Amino acid sequence: MSPRLVEPLAVEPLRVGVVCFSTFGGSGVIATEIAIDLARRGHAVHVFSDELPERMDPPPPALASQLVFHRVSPPAYPQLKQSPYTLALTSKIVEVSRRERLQIVHAHYALPHAVAAHLARQVLAAQGDAGAAPVPRIVTTLHGTDITLVGSDPSFLPLTRFSIAGSDAVTTPSDWLARATHEVLGVPGAVAIDVIPNFVDVARFTPAPGGAPPGSGSGVPVVAHVSNFRPLKRLDDVVEVFARVRAARPARLWLVGDGPERARIEAAIAARRLQADVEVLGERADLPAVLRGADVFLLPSEIESFGLAALEALSCGVPVVASAVGGLPEVIADGEVGFLRPVGDVAAMAAAVGRLLDDAALRRRLGAAGRRLAESRYALAPAVDRYVDLYRRVLA
């Protein structure tokens, strides 16, 4: 059965559901920043996740009537050995869509979010009758490992392809990920993908006030790394690069975030007797202040569709040293706002970090260029404008 069309959209405001992960990670950040900005613009926004996403915790009180969080909690039954999160999410989307007459469900990450949105739409279409809720359009934003890792797992591949090909619109944050979706995942060329680059709140992620250079001010330069501590972030390379940098000059390393690699990497730091120079800071709500205290940001990932953490550092005026991989070269022009080096080339990365730490003028020049880049190309409002235009297009 093909879903009924939504009601004609001359009507404002839009009624949008946003489905995302709550964990510390770029896709949840982008999803919640879009949700909050849409609510600020007067649209009715419903966010679906297992917990309040970090950037929405606490939800802005002034937006209470526009921005509603729906916690997805799978019911516990002994018959259901594995927690049925996808089914609970589907049911929640159905329930809220019916009640709030959602026009758009914007799924961030293909699995399980876009799949749940499709299933919810089928349920709504099958149960629809005259006067019932409209069947929402599905917009899917692919973020990275939903294509390059999880989604391309042979067992998930048909489901990933289905959820993408059946969406009313598909977006990626970089040209590279759009290409990978067609080439690696085998999504037909006829499935159009809109590239809407990620963005940063340049009013929150600012350089130090009064034009002071970034850095901790302690006299010992700081290298910062922010991630969700998964194997593809190559935390061993972070430690190795830092060890080489530290061998040549005093320096400190700040590790921000949390994830499966944390315990292992803490043990590696201890084994290398680097504890005195390394701080493992965990997840930080005051991320802009932390980034402002750093002199260089290091992101030696195996793969990165965009590298939102690097953009947030640039917005704070901190130059970046990163892998020349995936979508990172679209954000970081080598030699202009930082340096890109081959994946795993710890010697070259250590040389680039050392060069920046030893040359304050270079650091300031690249940091200022990074800030200008964030303001001119990656501001939040124009990006959300593009999503609103996309919603209107699929509703037209």
Pick from 6, 14, 18, 30 the residue near ligand GMT by CB under 6 A.
30
Q: Does 304 bind ligand GMT (CB under 6 A)?
A: yes
Q: Looking at beta carbons, which residue is closest to ligand GMT?
A: 144
Cβ atoms of 339 and 352 closer than 8 Å: yes
Do 16 and 41 form a contact (C-beta atoms < 8 A)?
Answer: no
Torsion 393-200-296-56 (CA) sign: negative
Applying CB under 6 A, which part among 5-13, 137-145, 212-220, 237-245 lies near ligand GMT?
137-145
Q: Nearest approach, Cβ of 149 to ligand GMT (angstroms)?
A: 7
Residue 68 contacts ligand GMT per CB under 6 A: no
One-letter amino acid identity for 16? V
Q: Which is nearer to ligand GMT, 143 or 341 (CB)?
A: 143
Print the binding letters for residues 305-344 with ligand GMT: x by CB under 6 A, - otherwise.
Answer: xxxx------------------------------------
Residue 280 Cα distances to 35, 72, 229, 230, 347, angstroms: 30, 31, 11, 15, 23
By CB under 6 A, residue 55 contacts ligand GMT = no
| Closer of 21 and 378 to ligand GMT (Cβ) | 21
> How many residues make contact with ligand GMT (CB under 6 A)?
20
List 22, 27, 152, 163, residue binding ligand GMT (CB under 6 A): 27
Give the single-character DSSP code of 200: B
**Cβ at position 91, least distance to ligand GMT in Å:** 24
Confirm or reject binding of residue 25 to ligand GMT (CB under 6 A): yes
**Burial of 389 per CB tally in 10 Å (0-12, 13-18, 19+):** exposed
The residue among 146 and 168 lying less far from ligand GMT, judged by its C-beta, is: 146
Closest approach of ligand GMT to the CB of residue 125, in Å: 30
DSSP string, 91-131: HHHHHHHHHHT-SEEEEESIIIIIHHHHHHHHHHHHH--TT
Closer Cβ to ligand GMT, 180 or 351, answer by number: 180
Other C-beta atoms within 10 Å of 127: how many?
A: 12
Does 193 bind ligand GMT (CB under 6 A)? Our answer is no
Alpha helices in 142-229 (DSSP H): 145-148, 157-165, 175-183
Query: Is residue 303 close enough to count as binding ligand GMT by CB under 6 A?
Result: yes
The residues in 144-163 that bind ligand GMT, with binding defined as CB under 6 A, are 144-146
Q: How far is the CB of 291 from ligand GMT (least distance, A)?
A: 15
Question: 247 CB contacts (<8 Å, ≥6 apart)?
Answer: none
Distance CA 319, CA 323 (A): 14
